[in-house]
């Protein structure tokens, strides 16, 4: 039987011309960078939106210069209206979850490094790969368009709960074409992600080079593979959900709009729809989406930490099995977002158990990281600092999950800042720390230049302290009863806690400003950074066996042969303290 | 971190490594699945199955609302079903002819192209037939938004027809590659397109069951 890894069926010719090289490239490395770039653009817009929201929360009557040009109705004289606050919130959530947390750690780094770490010269379907990015880019443009239409962006949040999202303009601004474009954008995004996931899975199954058994794959490759499996199922459900929402909005069907619904003194011409149906379909995607964001970061952190520790993890295998279990359990827990939706209380119990169970593999992974760190002579650099920061965020944000997983406690905490603090730390900032860690680690490979370490460390401390200053107080506010999605708290029972909000807002401005250190480092190092050798971190996986940056066909037309597990560090008797995966050197059992 | 250049590791011969949990050594590795395209088709089929499972779940949940007025299906639907199933048969004939054609066997290749052509005619006939079904439903006054049942009927049949059109595009691509002077068509391409096309038939049978029993 033909061995596909030796003669891959899908090899494209060397790229020629500007368009083929940099725009409509079939090269997985260029596509990975494009995804990363799109994530960077989206995170910048998302961060500015969060600044505007934080500003409005504490200075609700103060004008933001220039904002009236973005929306005359939403920000007359530069002062944000309560409705426009909700629009900004919707766009912040949508951009961050879809275009940042899905794009950068999974599609960005995954595209760039998965084929190289497997010893392949490209993805299994390079054309699908190119399509998946450009489809995602179109989805991004459609979403951003909502800022510039008279209707404005939708006000229904990134979860677009029906019937609010389905009834149209009667229910508020942004719910007409704004909401329709939102649904169309997300549907297009789903198609892009499905194509991407298909590619990741087929590549991992079929294009591994000789000797690269499944258990020899690096932890991040495993994480991308499992994430792709989750993505394939999750986006295949969100796509039909969006289609039904679009039909409710544009074709007059009643999938999600119930009978007798009166909005704005108008009886809605719909009958029999089920708002809960949207929640089920959305969260069946939405909860796995959390793992689509976090699992690649867990893989990257494992990869970076083990390299910095110069010794193997206590058990890299158990980390992989735990990530698999998390992936599997992620399908059984979606109802924990719906404890107060009015569904049967027994269902809540049924969703509560697997939710608590999922903390077991998550804890195992964390304990393996911590146990491996014990006694390790860890090399502190920007990449490993962000990896350690990830663990800190993951633990701090994860612990509040224990409380929220229990229906009786969640009834009190639901829709408060406690939940907002929880998910921002555990999936938002933690995943972003994973992206940062990966960036500082792989930048030399991707560009051939080293990033500036001093700026990197400065960036870390800004981000790390800043994140705690912003999101820890969220938990306390939530416990007091501070509900989310309110645009101001000036004349209600929350007024005494306004100083806490002020503290958070100022911390958000400073932490956000600190990110420009990263942005500067990213561009400055590209041209002025120190030249990077092929393997600056003395790492073992295949991406470090080729030049920095890699040639277009990765391994120069050859196919590497893999002899070892991914992480042979601290090997006694070896010439170095590590043995690369493609080194035929014999490693003797101690 | 200090960057130290270690002396290059001496490349030695023995590839065996007692340590390491990677399982067998290089010599003992089994060959993997023959083609990424085959995996791709199956992964795609899995995703499509998930989507239709989502539609079906939505249908069951939505039925709970009680405003459920059964649709009387036009008889043409059953004829379309027959046509689609026949097309699977003819495609299988084409695939077998292509597989049985050793290099240069023009007769077998001609048979393969012929059966493929017939499959395409059936494929187009199915889509045209479904279009006729929608027109007949519209003539009864049943449009997309008329009742919840008609909504699901149009959505399920419409999304299925879109996927069939994708299959037709794949068949046309095969036909184009089979009728070139220099044929460089791997058997796996024919087999993979056939897998997808047969799946369209199976999916349709499932949808027909759901539609007749539930809608």
Show the 3-state SS of B153-202.
Answer: HHHHHHHHHHHHHHHHHHHHHHHHHHCCCCCCCCHHHHHHHHHHHHHHHH
Give the 3-state secondary structure of residue A568: strand
Residue A539 is predicted with a pLDDT of: 93
Give the 3-state secondary structure of residue A205: helix
Distances (CA, A) of A69 to A45, A47, A62, A174, A284: 16, 19, 16, 17, 38
Q: What region, left, alpha or beta, does residue A567 occupy, with left being phi > 0 and alpha being psi -120 to 50 degrees?
A: beta
Question: Each residue of B157-192: pLDDT tens digit?
Answer: 999 999 999 999 999 999 998 888 777 788 888 999
Report the sign of the C-alpha dihedral through residues A110, A113, A116, A121, in that order: positive
Q: Does B42 touch chain A (CB under 8 A)?
A: no
Residues forming a β-bridge with A266: A263
Interface probe for B, chosen from A222, A272, A571 (most Cβ of B below 10 Å), is A272
Report the sign of the C-alpha dihedral through residues B210, B211, B212, B215, in that order: positive
Interface probe for A, chosen from B4, B11, B40 (most Cβ of A below 10 Å), is B40
Interface probe for A, chosen from B37, B56, B68, B151 (most Cβ of A below 10 Å), is B151
pLDDT (average), residues A28-54: 96
C-alpha distance from A317 to closest chain B C-alpha (Å): 9
Angle between helix A219-250 and helix B36-63 axes, rounded to 10 deg: 40
Pairing mode of beta strands A262-263, A266-267: antiparallel
pLDDT confidence bin for A327, thresholds 50/70/90: very high
**Cβ contacts (< 8 Å) between A201 and chain B: which residues?**
39, 43
CB A390 within 8 A of CB A301: yes
Residue B24 is predicted with a pLDDT of: 31
Question: Each residue of A161-220: pLDDT tens digit?
Answer: 999 999 988 888 999 999 999 999 999 999 999 999 999 999 999 999 999 999 999 999
Q: Tell me which residue of A200, A27, A5, A35 sits closest to A127, measured CA to CA.
A: A27
- CB nearest B46 (choices: A4, A213, A232): A232
Measured CA to CA, the distance from residue A348 to residue A338 in angstroms comes to 8
* Global pTM value: 0.92
Answer whether residue B26 shows pLDDT above 80: no
- CB nearest A379 (choices: B1, B64, B151): B1
- Residue keyed to tokens 């699977």: B88
Answer whether residue A567 shows pLDDT above 60: yes
Distances (CA, A) of A364 to A328, B76, B143: 15, 58, 54
Q: Does B139 touch chain A (CB under 8 A)?
A: no
- CB nearest B6 (choices: A380, A563, A576): A576
Question: Each residue of A469-482: pLDDT tens digit?
Answer: 999 999 999 999 99
Answer whether residue A319 shows pLDDT above 80: yes
pLDDT confidence bin for A3, thresholds 50/70/90: very low
Distances (CA, A) of B184 to A127, B178, B180, B181, B190: 19, 8, 9, 9, 12
Look up residue B210 and give its two tokens. Answer: 């759901």
Instruction: Tell me whether residue A69 is exposed, middle or buried, using C-beta atoms within 10 angstroms of its C-beta: 0 to 12, 13 to 18, 19 or more.
Output: exposed
Inter-chain touch B14–A247, beta carbons under 8 Å: no
Q: B70-214 belongs to which CATH class?
A: mainly alpha
pLDDT (average), residues A535-555: 92
Q: Taking the C-alpha atoms of B157, B163, B164 and B168 in order, what is their torsion angle to the nearest 10 degrees?
A: 160
C-alpha distance from B161 to closest chain A C-alpha (Å): 15
Inter-chain touch A202–B39, beta carbons under 8 Å: yes
Q: Tell me which residue of A387, A378, A523, A385 sits closest to A459, measured CA to CA.
A: A385
**Cβ contacts (< 8 Å) between A258 and chain B: which residues?**
65
Q: Tell me which residue of A112, A129, A91, A92 sits closest to A36, measured CA to CA.
A: A112
Interface probe for A, chosen from B36, B40, B42, B158 (most Cβ of A below 10 Å), is B36
Question: Each residue of A403-431: pLDDT tens digit?
Answer: 999 999 999 999 999 999 999 999 999 99
Q: Does B89 touch chain A (CB under 8 A)?
A: no
**What length does chain B have?**
215
**Cβ contacts (< 8 Å) between B50 and chain A: which residues?**
232-233, 236-237
**Cβ contacts (< 8 Å) between A213 and chain B: which residues?**
22-24, 29
Measured CA to CA, the distance from residue B133 to residue A460 in angstroms comes to 62
Report CA Rg, chain A: 24
Residues forming a β-bridge with B122: none
Answer whether residue B36 shows pLDDT above 90: no
Q: Do domains A24-259 and A295-528 have the same CATH topology?
A: yes
Q: Where are the domains of chain A?
A: 24-259, 295-528
Average pLDDT score, chain B: 83
CB contacts under 8 A, A 364-383 vs B, are 379-381
CB contacts under 8 A, A 429-488 vs B, are 453
Q: Tell me which residue of A145, A40, A155, A62 sits closest to A490, measured CA to CA.
A: A62
- CB nearest B17 (choices: A9, A380, A564): A564
CB A228 within 8 A of CB A196: yes
Contacts of A283 (CB under 8 A, 6+ apart): A334, A335, A337, A338
Pairs of residues, one from chain A and one from chain B, whose beta carbons lie less than 8 Å apart: 196
Look up residue A342 and give its two tokens. Answer: 């009015």
DSSP code for A80: P
Look up residue B185 and give its two tokens. Answer: 């068509």
Q: Specify the CATH architecture of the domain A24-259.
A: Up-down Bundle (1.20)
**What length does chain A have?**
590
- Residue keyed to tokens 């051939």: A448
Q: Does A350 touch chain B (CB under 8 A)?
A: no
Inter-chain touch A237–B62, beta carbons under 8 Å: no
Answer whether residue A11 shows pLDDT above 70: no
Inter-chain touch A233–B47, beta carbons under 8 Å: yes
**Cβ contacts (< 8 Å) between B13 and chain A: which residues?**
584
Contacts of A400 (CB under 8 A, 6+ apart): A418, A421, A422, A425, A426, A475
Cα first-last separation, chain A:
38
Residue B200 is predicted with a pLDDT of: 97
| Residue A372: how many other CB atoms lie within 10 Å | 21
C-alpha distance from B19 to closest chain A C-alpha (Å): 5
- CB nearest A588 (choices: B6, B19, B61): B19
Secondary structure (H, E, C), A36-75: HHHHHHHHHHHHHHHHHHHHHHHCCCCCCCCHHHHCCCCC
Inter-chain touch B58–A589, beta carbons under 8 Å: no
Residue in A closest to B156 by C-alpha? A240
pLDDT confidence bin for B103, thresholds 50/70/90: low
Q: Specify the CATH architecture of the domain A295-528.
A: Up-down Bundle (1.20)
Q: Does A576 touch chain B (CB under 8 A)?
A: yes
pLDDT confidence bin for B153, thresholds 50/70/90: very high
pLDDT confidence bin for A517, thresholds 50/70/90: very high
pLDDT confidence bin for B71, thresholds 50/70/90: confident
Look up residue B134 and give its two tokens. Answer: 């929608």
Answer whether residue A235 shows pLDDT above 50: yes
Instruction: Tell me whether residue A282 is exposed, middle or buried, using C-beta atoms within 10 angstroms of its C-beta: 0 to 12, 13 to 18, 19 or more.
Output: buried
Measured CA to CA, the distance from residue A583 to residue A500 in angstroms comes to 56
CB A309 within 8 A of CB A300: no
DSSP code for A259: T
């Amino acid at each position: 039987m033909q061995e596909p890894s030796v003669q891959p069926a899908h090899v494209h010719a060397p790229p020629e011309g500007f368009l083929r090289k940099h725009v409509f490239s079939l090269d997985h490395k260029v596509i990975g960078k494009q995804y990363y770039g799109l994530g960077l653009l989206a995170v910048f817009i998302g961060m500015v939106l969060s600044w505007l929201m934080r500003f409005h929360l504490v200075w609700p009557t103060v004008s933001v210069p220039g904002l009236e040009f973005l929306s005359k109705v939403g920000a007359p004289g530069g002062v944000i209206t309560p409705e426009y606050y909700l629009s900004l919130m919707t766009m912040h959530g949508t951009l961050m979850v879809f275009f940042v947390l899905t794009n950068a750690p999974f599609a960005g780094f995954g595209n760039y490094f998965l084929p190289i770490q497997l010893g392949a010269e490209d993805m299994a379907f390079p054309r699908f790969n190119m399509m998946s990015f450009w489809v995602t880019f179109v989805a991004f443009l459609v979403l951003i368009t909502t800022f510039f239409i008279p209707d404005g962006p939708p006000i229904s949040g990134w979860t677009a709960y029906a019937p609010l999202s389905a009834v149209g303009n009667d229910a508020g601004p942004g719910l007409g074409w704004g909401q329709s474009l939102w649904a169309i954008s997300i549907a297009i995004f789903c198609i892009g992600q499905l194509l991407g996931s298909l590619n990741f899975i087929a590549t991992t199954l079929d294009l591994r080079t000789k000797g690269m058994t499944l258990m020899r794959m690096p932890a991040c490759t495993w994480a991308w593979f499992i994430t792709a499996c989750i993505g394939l199922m999750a986006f295949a459900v969100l796509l039909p959900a969006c289609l039904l929402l679009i039909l409710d909005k544009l074709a007059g069907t009643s999938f999600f709009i119930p009978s007798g619904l009166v909005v704005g003194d108008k009886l809605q011409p719909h009958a029999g729809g089920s708002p809960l149906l949207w929640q089920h379909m959305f969260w069946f995607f939405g909860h796995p989406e959390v793992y689509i964001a976090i699992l690649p970061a867990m893989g990257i952190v494992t990869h970076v930490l083990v390299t910095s520790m110069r010794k193997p993890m206590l058990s890299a295998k158990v980390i992989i099995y735990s990530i698999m279990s998390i992936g599997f359990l992620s399908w059984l827990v979606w109802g924990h977002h719906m404890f107060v939706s009015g569904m049967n209380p027994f269902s809540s119990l049924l969703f509560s158990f697997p939710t608590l169970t999922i903390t077991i593999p998550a804890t195992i992974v964390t304990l393996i990281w911590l146990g491996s760190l014990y006694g390790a002579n860890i090399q502190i650099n920007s990449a490993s600092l962000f990896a350690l920061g990830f663990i800190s965020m993951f633990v701090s944000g994860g612990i509040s999950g224990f409380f929220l997983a229990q229906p009786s406690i969640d009834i009190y905490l639901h829709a408060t800042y406690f939940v907002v603090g929880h998910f921002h730390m555990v999936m938002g900032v933690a995943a972003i720390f994973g992206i940062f860690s990966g960036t500082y680690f792989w930048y030399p490979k991707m560009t051939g230049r080293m990033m500036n370490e001093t700026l990197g460390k400065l960036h870390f401390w800004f981000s790390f302290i800043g994140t705690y200053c912003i999101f820890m107080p969220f938990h306390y506010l939530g416990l007091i009863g501070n509900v989310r999605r309110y645009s101001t708290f000036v004349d209600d029972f929350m007024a005494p806690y306004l100083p806490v909000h002020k503290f958070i807002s100022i911390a958000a401005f400073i932490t956000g400003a600190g990110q420009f250190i990263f942005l500067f480092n990213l561009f400055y190092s590209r041209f002025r950074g120190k030249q990077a050798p092929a393997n600056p971190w003395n790492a073992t996986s295949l991406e470090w066996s080729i030049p920095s940056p890699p040639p277009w066909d990765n391994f120069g037309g050859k196919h590497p042969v893999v002899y070892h597990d991914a992480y042979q560090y601290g090997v006694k008797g070896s010439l170095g303290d590590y043995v690369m995966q493609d080194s035929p050197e014999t490693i003797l059992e101690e | 971190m200090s960057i130290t250049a270690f002396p290059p590791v001496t490349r030695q011969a023995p590839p065996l490594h007692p340590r390491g949990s990677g399982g067998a050594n290089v010599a003992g590795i089994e060959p993997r699945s023959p083609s990424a395209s085959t995996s791709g088709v199956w992964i795609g089929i899995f995703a499509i199955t998930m989507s239709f499972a989502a539609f079906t779940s939505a249908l069951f949940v939505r039925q709970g609302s009680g405003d459920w007025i059964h649709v009387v299906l036009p008889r043409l639907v059953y004829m379309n079903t027959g046509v689609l199933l026949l097309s699977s048969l003819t495609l299988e004939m084409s695939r077998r002819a292509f597989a049985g054609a050793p290099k240069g066997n023009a007769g077998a290749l001609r048979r393969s192209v012929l059966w493929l052509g017939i499959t395409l005619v059936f494929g187009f006939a199915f889509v045209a037939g479904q279009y006729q079904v929608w027109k007949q439903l519209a003539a009864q006054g049943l449009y997309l938004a008329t009742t919840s049942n008609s909504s699901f009927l149009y959505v399920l049949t419409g999304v299925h027809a879109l996927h069939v059109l994708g299959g037709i595009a794949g068949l046309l691509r095969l036909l184009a590659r089979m009728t070139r002077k220099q044929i460089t068509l791997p058997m796996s391409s024919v087999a993979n397109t056939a897998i997808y096309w047969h799946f369209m038939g199976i999916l349709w049978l499932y949808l027909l069951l759901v539609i007749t029993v539930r809608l």
